[in-house]
A and B are shown apart, each in its own frame.
Chain A
Amino acid sequence: MEDMKQIYIRIISLLILAGAVALGWFVLAQPEAKPFSLGLDLSGGTHLEYEAQLEGIPAEDHRSSMVALRDVIERRVNLFGVAEPNVQTETARLGQEERVFRLIVELPGVTDVEEAVAMIGETPLLEFKAQNPELSEEEFQTALNQQTQALLLDNIKASNPELADSIVSQQDDAVSEPFISTPLTGAYLDGAQMQLTQPTPGQMAGQPYIVLNFDREGGKLFEEITAANVGKIIAIYLDGAPISTPVVQQKITGGEATITGSFTLDEARQLEGRLNAGALPVPIELVATQSIGPSLGAESVEAGIYAGIIGFIIVAAFLILYYRIPGIIAVVALVVYTVVMLSLFKFIPVTLTAAGIAGFVISLGMAVDANILIFERAKEELAKGATIYDAMRIGFSRAWLSIRDGNISSIMSAAIIFMLSSSLIKGFALTFGIGVIVSMVTAITMTRWFLLSIAGKKSPQWLRTLFTSGLNK
């Protein structure tokens, strides 16, 4: 009965080994098939963090605004031809304060922060605003005048700061906003075309203007907003400033709006191009940037692999010299464990960062520890006079409780860290957590099967010596 069981164990062990070799060949010998996905700290690239300004937008629309924002930026980045960009949103809560919405843009290969920022900064912010209903017509006119003056002053400041200083600002009172946000934003923009007005007599050419086409939902919104504001002004804001303030004559159906402004032909063409590449639904502000040079990245990967190989060879030599036959089995099990982990990294895929590799190394350390625990217990059983087979079997079951408790507390820690922390530390928690789980099913279970399949029922002294460890016989 026991003999039959051992035959099964041997067959399973051989199958596992064959499977591991196949997996190793399939995953690691063909690096072109599916490369590892490397984090920015290893591959080089730029990491930008923006904070979205959602003031004035109702809380229930925050999430959809962020999705729209992400889509626009993603389109923009793709247009620029960056390989595998990563654009994601993140919500953070700062103490008791309100929630903060962030947009994270990762651009592998782009190492010039200025270029990257400029590329995203090109994306126009398009908003449609309606007259503030809390203001009377008179108050509205005052607010509008003040806004116009302020804009004028800003323009002067930009071109001639000294002149601007000499102008005494009349805005002593708190200024009320003449316009308030509507749900209609650049997120609903389908496209834009520049067109020319018919030249009036005496003009060489017509004035350029821009026609905005909304998507279906945007068209409906525009219809509702114009219907509610007949006789009032709808202001079109571009990059935070009113660019066109037409008075609504009647409800507009068909999803088309026109921006008339005093642009030159070149300016109008440029605006058309920018709008066609997508327009932002909400303003964003750059809060953090990070760039890693490509040389730093490549050196890190090479040095990491080199250090890993040296470390592994010394550890393997130590295990084999000290633990003899079980040591050899442990080394085989650890190699299989490493192959399984690397395959998972490729296929999940897990983005590898320096912190993530640290997590992997620590989980490897725990896998080694589990093996050492088993061997030490087996050695005790051998010393008590058990057969090799029984010693391995009992050694494993005794060590299992310690391994289980240690590993569960590690998995628990990894889960807590993963849920709570910023992206860098998340990478660590992920590889550490996966590593511990995988080591429980590979390194530990496999070591057991391999040990049981080579341990014989007869145990002559020379074989017992090969199964014990340390400096004693």
Chain B
Amino acid sequence: MSIIKNKFIFLTIAALLVVASIVIVAVKGLNIGIEFTGGSVVEVSYDERPDTETINQALASYDFRPSVQAFGEEGYIIRTRELSEADRGVLLAALNIDEQAPQVERLNTVGPSIGKEVRSKAFLAIALVVVAIILYIAFVFRKVSPGIEEDAEKIPSSWKYGFIAILALLHDIAIPIGVFALFQIEISSLFVVGLLSILGLSVNDTIVVFDRIRENLTTNKEEKTKESFAATVGRALRQTMARSINTSLTLLIVLGALLAVGPVAIQELALVLLIGTFVGTYSSIFIASPLLVLWNKGEKA
């Protein structure tokens, strides 16, 4: 009951975090990777790494528009404009510093048209998944739509379940995007993979709670128990609390292990998922269900 009673506190916290994320993205911008913009990225490693200044000077006389970033113990990641075959040779030759040829770990070039396509496909995939989830939830919860009971309190229509699940989802993906903008971590295709995973996990989480609300409504009707909708939701939350916490705990353990000792290549993915799992659990307990109660009340008044 306390969650439903104090819903405004929890909803305010969530709203503040989402607004903060939007502000950060607007102010600092996102560090979008070459997969989406086109360009080249070279990762090199040296036995004895020269300092960043030396690398910058070595590249200063060319028009590669480089941005040099130290990476790991002995490497550099250098981002440039889109490099042609000839450019690549010139760049690598310029990176021979004190007769020390670097080891090329990775050399990626993406043309602008491919970047554009990857970008539009990612947006399309996320948008379609969101639409499909609204439709599916509305369909699955159709039996709890109003009109079943005559004298009992009005309960929300199944469309509201769908839209609220999506509101919770938007919260869940806004915050990781905000964190990535805050620390200017590069947005790659793996980041999109992370967001898509969060969509899947968070919707699953929300469905579990909604499902329990549905079940409680059904048993109330069968047993002719009179209970306010707010109380029914509160009871569902209490009943699913242990499961919500334990499930996210296990996921957080696995993701924490991936972040701590897993491959460097998927650390950013592990980070998105870690943040997403955390805020996803928060949203299904403290946002989705309170919103359901709130929206239902608004309708009644």
Contact = CB atoms under 8 A, between A and B. Distances in A.
B193 interface: yes
Contacts of B185: none
B197 A409 contact: no
A380 interface: yes
Nearest to B212: A402
A358 B254 contact: no
Find the residue from B89, B113, B197 having the highest chain A CB count within 10 A.
Answer: B197
Nearest to B258: A307
A293 interface: yes
A290 B201 contact: no
Interface in B94-114: 103-111, 113-114
Interface stretch (B2-10, B23-31, B53-61, B264-272): B264-272
How many residues of B sit at the interface, in one of the four size bands? 35 or more
Contacts of A398: 215
Q: Summarize B's interface: helix, strand, loop or mixed.
A: helix
Given A111-B104, A291-B104, A358-B273, A300 B264 contact: yes
B110 A292 contact: no
Contact of B117 (A92, A307, A376, A416): A92
A319 B247 CA distance: 10
Contacts of B258: 304, 307-308, 311, 361
A445 interface: no
B204 interface: yes
A366 B201 contact: yes
Given A372-B246, A424-B193, A289 B105 contact: no
A365 B254 contact: yes
B116 A94 contact: yes
B189 A425 contact: yes
A428 B193 contact: yes
Interface residues of A, number: 77
Contacts of A407: 204
B253 A428 contact: no
B122 A410 contact: no
A113 B257 CA distance: 34
A126 to B, nearest CB: 22
B262 interface: yes
A359 B189 CA distance: 14
Interface in A86-136: 92, 94-95, 100, 111-114, 117
Contacts of A373: 208, 243
B69 interface: no
Interface of B: 43, 85, 88-89, 103-111, 113-114, 116-118, 120-122, 124-125, 128-129, 132-133, 136-137, 140, 189-190, 192-194, 196-197, 199-201, 203-204, 207-208, 211-212, 215, 239-240, 242-243, 246-247, 249-251, 253-258, 260-266, 269, 273
Q: Which 6 A-B pairs have the closest CB atoms?
A: A307-B262, A300-B263, A311-B257, A311-B254, A406-B204, A287-B111
